[in-house]
Chains A and B, each alone.
Chain A
Amino acid sequence: MNDAGFIFGSYAVTFGAIALFALATIRRGRTLSAQVPDEEKYWT
């Protein structure tokens, strides 16, 4: 494949950034969740 570095790089940057954001969100959710009683979590 020609220009593979740019093509794979664009996929890596895109999904890497989204994965980092998703991980940060999940981690923050878990940390905060431990401080909040279950009755305040409307999704439970």
Chain B
Amino acid sequence: MTQTTEVTSPQSEPTATVSGTGTVATRIIGIAALIATAWLVAFGLGFSPADRDQDESVRIMYVHVPSIWVAYVAFVVTAAASGGYLFSKRHSLGFDRVAGASAEIGALFVAVTLVSGMLWGRLTWGVFWQWDARLTTTALLFVTYIGYLAVRRLGGDHHQRARRSAVIGLPAVLLIPLVHWSVVLWRSLHQEATVLRPDGQVSMGGLMLFSLFVGVVAFSLIYLWLVIHRSRVAALADFADDRLLADALVARRHEGGADTDSNHVDMSQTADINDVQHPGGER
């Protein structure tokens, strides 16, 4: 791929009138997410009843459970986008950016799940942490995706990053069934699933189930809003990286005394560098 893009030197700034990564659609999603979050707080902390066994501490469930479910979804999206990058003919970096953005948000959601779970555990079990099957596998899931995110920062060109991380992001999703069914596979202190049960039954009803549903809607909208913005930020960062490389080439030409009658560099040179390592890859 040789793509000719005019890249300006630091002396002449590009024409950038659009500030940020927002659009009308993302603003609508953002407002919907805020409204759903307000509903979640109202139902989770106010309208839903206390539980017969767990009393008021059950209210933590309305943020704890939706956050891990949406984290599962985020990691499935990472795996799908990783597969999209690896197996599509175009090897579009758009897949890679969505994969990375989704993994970041998924890791954040797992982190808040772990913290809210620790607070809930302190109330119901009397301890913040136990090396229980569900807790341990969830911690493993978190560490795996932190590792995935670390691999994304190892360096190299964009296609090296994409290929390397996709190879991890695709199989890492297999941890999700292990985490979810850990309470069935092993004897666990953690309670079994109340909604996504193996027998398909839902052992919850009324306002409690509705509050949980509101939580799932709120976290899904938050995820959607975040993943769109984060993917766009990644696209901007990739372009800025390319520009730095182009500027470095201009500087090197000046050092070498080559003909540099303008402050523009042909991006095909940087694209050629990528092509050597990844023929056929697209920006």
Q: Residues on A close to B: CB < 8 A? A: 1-4, 6-11, 13-15, 17-18, 21-22, 25-26, 28-30, 32-38, 40-44
Q: Residues on B close to A: CB < 8 A? A: 5, 13-23, 37, 41, 44-45, 55-57, 59-60, 63-64, 67, 105, 108, 111-112, 115-116, 119-120, 122-123, 222, 225-226, 229-230, 232-233, 235-237, 239-240, 243
Q: What are 18 A-B contacts defined by CB distance under 8 Å?
A: A3-B123, A6-B57, A10-B63, A13-B119, A14-B112, A17-B108, A18-B112, A25-B230, A29-B236, A30-B20, A32-B236, A33-B20, A33-B236, A36-B14, A36-B240, A38-B16, A38-B17, A40-B236
Question: Chain B interface mostly helix, strand, loop or mixed?
Answer: helix
Q: 20 other contacts beyond A8-B45, A17-B108, with CB at 8 A cut-off? A: A3-B123, A4-B56, A6-B60, A13-B115, A14-B67, A15-B37, A25-B21, A26-B229, A28-B233, A33-B19, A35-B236, A35-B240, A36-B240, A36-B243, A40-B5, A40-B235, A41-B18, A41-B232, A41-B235, A42-B235
Which residues from B are CB-within-8-Å of A38?
15-18
Q: How many Cβ-Cβ contacts under 8 Å join chain A to chain B? A: 124
What's the minimum C-beta distance from A42 to chain B, rounded to whole angstroms? 7
- Please name the residue on chain B nearest to A9 by beta carbon: B119
How distant is the Cα of A35 from the Cα of B243 in the complex, in angstroms? 9
Do B115 and A40 touch across chains, with their CB atoms under 8 A apart?
Answer: no
Q: Which of B16, B45, B63, B123 contacts A6 (CB 8 A)?
A: B123
How distant is the Cα of A26 from the Cα of B83 in the complex, in angstroms? 28
- Assess A25 versus B233: contact at CB under 8 Å? Given A17-B108, A33-B16, A44-B18: yes
